[in-house]
């Protein structure tokens, strides 16, 4: 996404505030994308994937649980609309490949479901937020154990910056510069009770 496009997107998004109650504290969240925005972004990324890969014959779409999976499913649905063929997304768990299992005792493991052989294919990974890049690093390790794709591309809803590794996304829904004390929450109807993207201030620990 160009700088121009980013600022345009930022300008048109209505800023709404709301409160959600967390475990014991309340966090103020600012909405930066709504359901329609998410739909447009998904459709655009689907078109970009089809354009860049000259069709979809060699493309395998894998979502990273938890919220990369619904994103991948929606891209798959959009790709099916474009090409008139049933296109489905698999999922790739990275919990077992994280490098911070000791530091951050929150390693969750989710399902891995690889719909077809990855050798020689172009794998498009889908995740909700690109942040430090460590999740994607783990995903690349996981992929290496599962096959040898000829190329790997990355699609994310939000790129919030603060990379700690030399990793970038090929398809970005929206670039949102954030501070490290903020957190970005992408929600998908199905897993969550609504669609949209919110930014909140993390409580000081």
Partner 1 sequence: MNDLLTTEDLPRQVIEKLLVDAESFVEVLSRPIPKVPALRGKTVATMFFEPSTRTRLSFEKAAKALSADTMSFSPATSSLSKGESLKDTALTVHAMGVDLMVVRHGSTGAPWRVAEWLDVPVVNGGDGAHQHPTQALADCLTITQRFGSLEGLRIAIVGDVRHSRVARSNMYAFHSLGASVTLVGPPTLLPVEIDGWPANTSTDLDAILDEVDVVYLLRVQTERGGGSVFPSLPEYADRYGMTGARFGRLKPEAVVLHPGPMNRGVEIAHDVADDERSLVLLQVSNGVAARMAVLFELLGGDQVA
List phi, psi (to 5°) of 203.
Answer: -70, 140
The residue within the footprint of partner 1, chosen from 95, 133, 161, 200 (CB under 8 A), is 95
Q: Would you say 90 or 173 has its CB closer to partner 1?
A: 90
What does the alpha-carbon distance between residue 46 and residue 93 come to, in Å, rounded to a whole number? 22
Look at the block and give the residue holding tokens 């739909």: 39
Tokens 């690093």 correspond to 137
Q: Which of 87, 97, 171, 198 binds partner 1 (CB under 8 A)?
A: 97
Q: Any contact of residue 171 with partner 1 (CB under 8 A)?
A: no
Is 167 in a helix, a strand, or coil? Answer: coil
Q: How far is the CB of 97 from partner 1 (least distance, A)?
A: 6
Q: Applying CB under 8 A, which part among 67-75, 105-113, 156-164, 185-193 lies near partner 1?
A: 105-113
Q: Which one of residues 50, 82, 107, 167 is an interface residue with partner 1 (CB under 8 A)?
A: 107
Question: Hey, how many other C-beta atoms are within 10 angstroms of the C-beta on 42?
Answer: 22
Q: Is the CB of residue 66 less than 8 Å from the CB of residue 191?
A: yes
d(CA 95, CA 102): 12
Residue 39: φ, ψ to 5° = -65, -45
**Phi and psi at residue 61, to the nearest 5°:** -100, 125
Cβ 59 to partner 1 shortest distance, Å: 22
Instruction: Closer to partner 1 by CB, 41 or 125: give it.
Output: 125
* 177 interacts with partner 1 by CB under 8 A: no
Minimal distance in Å, beta carbon 12 to partner 1? 38
63 touches partner 1 (CB under 8 A):
no
Q: Which residues bind partner 1 (CB under 8 A)?
A: 93, 95-97, 101-102, 105-113, 141-142, 145-147
């Amino acid at each position: 996404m160009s700088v121009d496009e980013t600022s345009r997107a930022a300008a048109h998004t209505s800023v709404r505030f709301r409160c959600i109650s967390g475990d014991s504290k309340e966090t103020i969240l600012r909405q930066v994308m709504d359901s329609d925005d998410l739909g447009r972004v998904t459709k655009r990324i689907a078109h970009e994937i089809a354009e860049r890969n000259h069709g979809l014959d060699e493309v395998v779409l894998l979502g990273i649980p938890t919220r990369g999976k619904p994103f991948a499913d929606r891209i798959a649905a959009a790709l099916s609309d474009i090409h008139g063929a049933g296109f489905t997304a698999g999922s790739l768990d990275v919990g077992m490949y994280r490098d911070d299992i000791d530091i951050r005792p929150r390693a969750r493991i989710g399902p891995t479901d690889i719909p077809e052989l990855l050798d020689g294919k172009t794998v498009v990974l889908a995740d909700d937020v690109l942040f430090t890049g460590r999740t994607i690093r783990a995903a690349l390790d996981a992929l290496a154990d599962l096959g040898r794709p000829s190329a790997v591309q990355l699609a994310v809803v939000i790129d919030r910056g603060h990379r700690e590794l030399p990793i970038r996304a090929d398809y970005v829904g929206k670039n949102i510069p954030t501070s490290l004390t903020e957190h970005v929450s992408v929600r998908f109807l199905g897993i969550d009770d609504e669609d949209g993207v919110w930014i909140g201030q993390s409580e000081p620990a």
